[in-house]
Chains A and B, each alone.
Chain A
């Protein structure tokens, strides 16, 4: 993992001191609320429905055990004992007090964390593949690039007052688990024909009111040119992105209105003109960062198929867990373990401080003290010895973290919605709970297989509903909540935006409709076909009847 050096420490500590002064200036009236707003947003502090909300960055989704324990401490000390993991590899505290937020930021700085740029119209927390560095299908660990971008984008003098928020995701694997196509800039680490490793750059993805997938702007960018190229993109966006309407201010709209080719040309011209050598970072610096992500001291082990087969035979619960939550590791004898934060009836992504501490302990006993946070609002232990899997499973069960539903229909992604969010037009969490309860039977979940349900409580799409195999968007119509269902969304390599199935439903009718969609899928699928694959083959109309069944 990356470790802060003296400069990184100095930066976050200065930032905490500055924020403390800003809070005082606000309380003294030197800053109006309008002027204070961007300053608190740049430190992750939102004003929500009932209280402030503090959003903490977990850059590229990697946490140490020590950091997790500090987050647990903060959750107890400054919140109500539970915190919420988001779809953007952030952690949200829902009840911090304004006056205490500088202390929270100071506690975060102690463990090399912050809330910087988790909100506001700036370059946001960089996200990545939750299996980075351990995935079997990886060209290169994307996290050093993520860390370089984190540092470069921190408090950027030119790009801190953009037309709108700006999200960058980076992945280094053959399978895109970071949904790069849904980001303002998506970066894929690639190898060209000459065998060199570089970046493929996509621009203009985003969800929200007008969902769009990012478009390719650079097939191959040499690694050393990354920062200058990013500055060229950012400058074109900063100068020419729309500022007259916040719903049209994302870079995707610039791409859409000016055309991909025009934007591409503008970026390349800017890139050609700017003083590249003065801007790019010395490759030695990336190498320095890379050294922190060197693989841990793996034991020379062999895979354990016989042991695992016997354990699965002996325990149906473990069998289900191994099938859904355990993923292949690049290192023989090891496995990647997903820890579900989606217990049936729970709020998706919520973890208690006790659970956070339990995960920290387990990461040390069954790994190298490292934890990942996923955009599906789950956690990951990246380096578990295969022979330890049965014991780890028992411990997870004891901590209330043994749900064997990763990637299954009850592994629902949901934003906070009406329960917390001031922008919400409908509830998300109660809908997620009702659907999970409907499909609680583990055998049924396994029968259905891989299926992503994603729920947003308003058009802003924080729940990424556009990318759900089944997406649910909560709107308000004439004072009533109305839920629209979309089908066929896919965040992966064949990224797709879901298509609207029909008119909105009342919240109470949503579980029935989902059940009918699932029944139509089960009736129509071929052997081994996932929901999205079957949807693509069967077509949208195959599912049309699902909304009308009541009226038959």
Chain B
């Protein structure tokens, strides 16, 4: 699974560990939210960093307090048309989560700048998608989007609304 960031494709530095597999002591691992809740004490006491995988129905307001010690939240996108993950990321940022946010799933290149704007840092995409949509498409989508965006308060360049009132370039 290549990891897409604003700089292009890169390798995955995190190991995603299935619930039934033991978690090794070192290294950065991603475990399910359910497992994390059950084993938080041991998992946060390990040597490596810990990430949690959440579903698209994850309730940020209910659980954000429990994210102490979590370095990465991986939000599952079941399909690209399901945009809940954008709001989950946005809420995580709004409510103060400062770690890495990863989107996991078959997003398309055009969604990458939207994801980044909502506070997502990286996108783990399936191999077949990466084969069809080369790195250049993703970088191009990010570049085009950077040109102009209206909304305020998102992680983009300066909003058009702000550029107007400051009378020019961001």
Contacts and interface: CB of A to CB of B under 8 A. Distances in A.
Contacts, number: 113
A10 B148 contact: yes
A281 interface: yes
B83 A161 contact: yes
Nearest to A227: B152
A14 B144 contact: yes
Interface stretch (B5-13, B20-28, B68-76, B112-120): B112-120
Given A11-B147, A227-B152, A279-B153, A161 B163 contact: no
Contact of A35 (B86, B108, B160): B108
A281 B95 contact: no
Contacts of A301: none
Contacts of B163: 7
B154 A18 contact: no
B143 to A, nearest CB: 10
Main secondary structure of the interface of A (DSSP, over half): helix
Interface stretch (A51-59, A235-243, A414-422, A503-511): A235-243
Interface stretch (A107-115, A124-132, A147-155, A178-186): A147-155
Contacts of A8: 160
Nearest to B148: A11
A273 B95 contact: yes
B164 A158 contact: no
Nearest to B111: A161
Nearest to A239: B87
- 10 A-B pairs closest in CB distance: A161-B83, A157-B117, A278-B153, A157-B114, A279-B153, A11-B148, A7-B160, A238-B87, A158-B86, A151-B150
A49 interface: no
B132 to A, nearest CB: 6
Interface residues of A, number: 46
Interface in B153-170: 153-154, 156, 160-165
Contact of A158 (B80, B90, B132, B150): B90
Contacts of A238: 83-84, 86-87
A274 interface: yes
Interface string A204-247: 00000000000000000000000100000001001100010000
Given A30-B137, A239-B87, A275 B151 contact: no
B81 interface: yes
A125 to B, nearest CB: 15
A279 B152 CA distance: 5
A64 B169 CA distance: 30
A477 interface: no
A156 interface: yes
A121 interface: yes
B151 A156 contact: yes
Main secondary structure of the interface of B (DSSP, over half): helix
B90 to A, nearest CB: 5
Nearest to A7: B160
A273 B160 contact: no
Contacts of B95: 273
A159 B86 CA distance: 8
Contacts of B118: 157-158
Contacts of B110: 18, 22, 39
Interface in B109-131: 110-111, 113-115, 117-118
B88 interface: yes
Contacts of A243: 82, 84
21 contacts: A25-B137, A31-B133, A38-B80, A39-B110, A151-B150, A152-B151, A154-B150, A155-B145, A155-B149, A157-B113, A157-B114, A157-B156, A159-B83, A161-B81, A161-B86, A238-B87, A239-B84, A239-B87, A275-B94, A279-B151, A284-B165
A281 B88 CA distance: 23
Contact of A157 (B144, B151, B162, B164): B151
A489 to B, nearest CB: 32
Contacts of B154: 157-158
Nearest to B152: A279
Contacts of B49: none
B34 interface: no
